[in-house]
Structure 1
Amino acid sequence: MAAVPFSALNFAIEIVPDGASAPLVSAAFAECDGLEMTMEVKTIRDGGSNDRQVRLAGPAAYGQLTLKRGMTEASFELWQWMSDSIADPGLRAQAEVVLFAGDGVSERARIVLQRCLPVKLKAPPLNAKEGAIAVEELQLAYERFTVKPGR
């Protein structure tokens, strides 16, 4: 059986603040960017060994998740979470980017972002034609991420 590739089009975001038992809000976004991990490499030279260098793993650094063009149900929970995080800088959440198979239902993988902090929440231009609460951009700083196979 051939491996089925992941699709960048079928994903969901679940944000659960510390101490909560359910996701903050039901939200769908058109774009998700910033899932990245880099490791600093330390280079050491051995004395008298001019043709060799030793590479040591250094500290890891993580990106900043950017979600664009989102829609939520009639809820202001993201805005309240941002306000709560400003009032209490120690407040964190866990976010999961859920990647779905082509059927849009079966989970292929979950990317778990730990100790998330909202750093930007931007409203779109106001338009009387739209009935839902929209979010133009949400940015989350995270301290670590892991990838888990789908359920």
Structure 2
Amino acid sequence: MPDTQTARAADPMRNFQFRLEIPGVAQGHFTEVSGLGVRVHPIRYREGGIGQIVRTMPGPVDYSEVTLRYGLIRDRELWTWMQSTIQGRIERRNISIMMLDTDGATETLRWNLFNAWPCEWQGAPLDAMGRDVAVELLRISFDQMERA
């Protein structure tokens, strides 16, 4: 006999409620976070005496670079962090990306990126006829990720 109690499925999270924590950076005006991912590269091999069967086993782990887009403000903290990398003084920081509930305040999910450092910066496109917010891009490389 099936269980008569019906469990209500949780609503999917919304992608527009998020916050970033970067040590040394005041709360930024981030408009987008993309590229969060991890891949375990398979290693293919043949076992002796089994013929043509190709087996796989887990190989190196590769974390994708995360792209941050943010509204250009007068604050120079992210640019200074990038400049340190350019000058060979890599400042690794632990970054947290938090998904928030619909109230915009309650944390529902967190990804922690360890030993992160900026590897690419792109300035905001400028357009004399435009009316958009100036948005810069900062790409982040990191060594390890956890979902907390």
Could you tell me the TM-score, scaled by structure 1's length? 0.78
Greater strand content: 1
Query: Partners of 2:29 and 2:113 in 1: how far apart?
Result: 17
What secondary structure does 1:57 align onto? strand
Number of residue pairs matched by the alignment? 138
| CA 1:126–1:119: 2 relative to 1, 3 Å | farther
Match of 2:17 among 4, 10, 15: 10
Asked if the contact 1:25–1:78 (Cα under 8 Å) also holds between the matched residues in 2, the reply is no
Which residues in structure 2 correspond to 1:89-104 (within 5 Å)?
A: 89-104=89-104
| Deviation, structure 1 residue 135 | 4.4
Query: Partners of 2:86 and 2:52 in 1: how far apart?
Result: 52
Q: Which residue of 2 aligns with 1:119?
A: 119
Q: Which residue of 1 aligns with 2:3?
A: none
> What is the percent sequence identity of the aligned residues?
26
Q: State the AA in 2 paired with 1:9.
A: F
| Deviation, structure 1 residue 75 | 1.8
| Deviation, structure 1 residue 120 | 2.1
Structure 2 unmatched ranges of 5 or more: 1-7
Asked if the contact 1:28–1:71 (Cα under 8 Å) also holds between the matched residues in 2, the reply is yes
Query: Partners of 1:112 and 1:72 in 2: how far apart?
Result: 25
Q: Which residue of 1 aligns with 2:28?
A: 27
- Judge which range, 26-35 or 134-143, deviates more: 134-143
Asked if the contact 2:84–2:90 (Cα under 8 Å) also holds between the matched residues in 1, the reply is no
Asked if the contact 1:98–1:109 (Cα under 8 Å) also holds between the matched residues in 2, the reply is yes
Asked if the contact 2:72–2:136 (Cα under 8 Å) also holds between the matched residues in 1, the reply is no
What secondary structure does 1:89 align onto? coil
Could you tell me the TM-score, scaled by structure 2's length? 0.79
Q: State the AA in 2 paired with 1:138.
A: L
Which residues in structure 2 correspond to 1:38-77 (within 5 Å)?
A: 38-50=39-51, 52-68=53-69, 70-71=70-71, 74-77=74-77
Q: State the AA in 1 paired with 2:51.
A: N
Q: Which residue of 2 aligns with 1:145?
A: 145
Q: State the AA in 1 paired with 2:11.
A: V
Query: Partners of 2:108 and 2:73 in 1: how far apart?
Result: 25
Q: State the AA in 2 paired with 1:142.
A: F
Rg comparison, structure with higher value: 2
